[in-house]
Amino acid sequence: MAEATVRRIAPAEGKLGVLCVGLGAVATTFIAGVENIRRGAARPIGSLTQMGTIRLGKRTEGRAPLIRDFVPLASLTDLVFGAWDPVPDDAYTAAVKAGVLDRHEHVEPIAAFLKGIKPMPAAFDQQYVKRLEGKNVKSAKTKRELAEALRQDIRDFKGRNGCSRLVMVWCASTEIFISPGPAHWTLDAFERGMDGNDPSIAPSMLYAWAALMEGVPFANGAPNLTCDFPALEQLARDKGVGIGGKDFKTGQTMIKTVLSPMFKARMLGVAGWYSTNILGNRDGEVLDDPESFKTKEESKLGVLEYILQPQLYPELYGEMYHKVRINYYPPRGDNKEGWDNIDIFGWMGYPMQIKVDFLCRDSILAAPLVLDLALFFDLAQRAGLSGIQEWLSFYFKSPQVAPGLYPEHDLFIQQTKLKNTLRYLMGEEPITHLGIEYYQND
């Protein structure tokens, strides 16, 4: 190992505070899961940081340590949890209402712990999430005042819990669709917009601004615009803080980022891809509003276009019809069903079909992503990586990238990017999978 190339990484000493925006199904499943794992009552299945390995060097070397043994990640025992939510329920009540986890096996044994996590009043405006009503909310004359109140919450939480570091992860509902406008181009314009209560500045943007101003990395788990615009990208660089998103890659889109690279790799055409979802949790209720659905739709629709690249392969994908539907169906609860009908064609244009019915548990898939993002964003911060963390695109439906770049959606390319970044940080050679050295005789 070339020690001289190891990037300097501050040690993961002290407590790491994980601040969740939203204390609903995803956040409570994440928090309760971590506590059950810490007590030996569950395993961290689905978490790359906890269960994944990373190959180092040549295949003949046989080096494949666990990622958590390879890079200096925070220990699960050092995590402390906080949250904001417009609903005043503590984590225990929220977890029971969400109904994701078995109440007797995984909630009641840690009831006292969960009851101790009470949400701070949220910066919430029903104009941006029309299907939710907020009772546990902050009041202020301007959006700047709300954002400053969030900054104070961050400082108070850090001091109260004796944390040495913090990360923030958006686990809340999808806001209405917002396109970047004049208030988003420069930091001065953005801050003037907060002072003037500009309607193009949504609550999620206030959380992101507050986090960056306090030196806290911010990961966006929803398709909201939030920090995907020049003003906050510049602020992240200026403050030396990491940002990334958008939208946790969990069910149907995860399937798309696996299947569509296969079609392109084998030069199989796609005539149409119809996707529909039914779910009954709070997220489903929010997405029943057309304006929130448009935000989610934009996130889900872009995946195929970027992976299949119809501009390069017009005969195969140039006339593909792609439709996405999300339907609120209360009886299903958090157990979402994602159904895909894919019309493909092969040799000489002959048609074929693939049908996928994914009966998934949305929050069960999302919870380990929250854990990994919290640990990796903290690692990035200690390693001095600031601004957009594209190497964590693996976790997002709509990855945030530097201006002028198109996002990479292929799950396996994203995984290679992530692992090569970890190798880079630790002074190991990146792996290209070329392998020509095994077959050359000279």
Q: What is the pLDDT of residues 304-344, one digit of tens each?
A: 999 999 999 999 999 999 999 888 888 888 888 999 999 99
Contacts of 4 (CB under 8 A, 6+ apart): 427
Tell me the Cα Rg of the chain.
Answer: 22
Nearest CA-CA partner of 382 in 55, 38, 78, 2: 78
* Average pLDDT for 266-282: 91
Q: For 327, how many CA atoms within 13 A lie in the half-sphere containing its CB?
A: 11
Please give the Cα distance from 53 to 62 (Å, whole number): 12
The answer to whether the beta carbons of residues 299 and 372 sit under 8 Å apart is no
CA distance 254 to 318: 23
> What integer pLDDT is reported at residue 4 of this predicted model?
43
| pLDDT tens per residue across span 50-98 | 999 999 999 999 999 999 999 999 999 999 999 999 999 999 999 999 9
Confidence label for 438 from pLDDT (cuts 50, 70 and 90): confident
End-to-end CA distance of the chain: 25
Cis? peptide before 246, omega within 30° of 0 = yes
Looking at the predicted structure, is the pLDDT value of residue 9 above 60?
yes
- 23: Cβ contacts below 8 Å, ≥ 6 apart: 83, 84, 85, 87, 89, 91, 94, 117, 119, 171
Return d(Cα 44, Cα 34) in angstroms, integer.
Answer: 8
- % of the chain at pLDDT higher than 90: 84
| pLDDT for residue 234 is more than 70 | yes
Q: What is the pLDDT of residue 291?
A: 66
Instruction: Write out pLDDT tens, residues 138-149.
Output: 999 999 999 999
Could you give the percent of the chain with pLDDT greater than 70?
A: 94
Longest dimension (CA), the chain: 75
Q: Are strands 242-245 and 218-220 parallel, antiparallel or unpaired?
A: parallel
Whole-angstrom distance, CA of residue 25 vs CA of residue 12: 28
Q: Is the predicted pLDDT of residue 383 greater than 70, yes or no?
A: yes
Angle in degrees, 0-180, between the axes of helices 203-213 and 230-239, rounded to the nearest 10:
20
411 pLDDT higher than 60? yes
Instruction: Indicate the average pLDDT of the chain.
Output: 94
The b/e string for 379-389 (b: 16+ C-beta within 10 A; e otherwise) is bbbbbebbbbb
Q: What is the pLDDT of residue 1?
A: 42
Rounded CA separation 136/121 (Å): 5
In order of 129, 246, 442, the CA distances from 17 in angstroms are 27, 21, 54
Count CB-CB contacts under 10 A for residue 351.
10
Q: What is the pLDDT of residue 292?
A: 66
CB 298 within 8 A of CB 253: no
pLDDT tens for 95-132 read 999 999 999 999 999 999 999 999 999 999 999 998 78
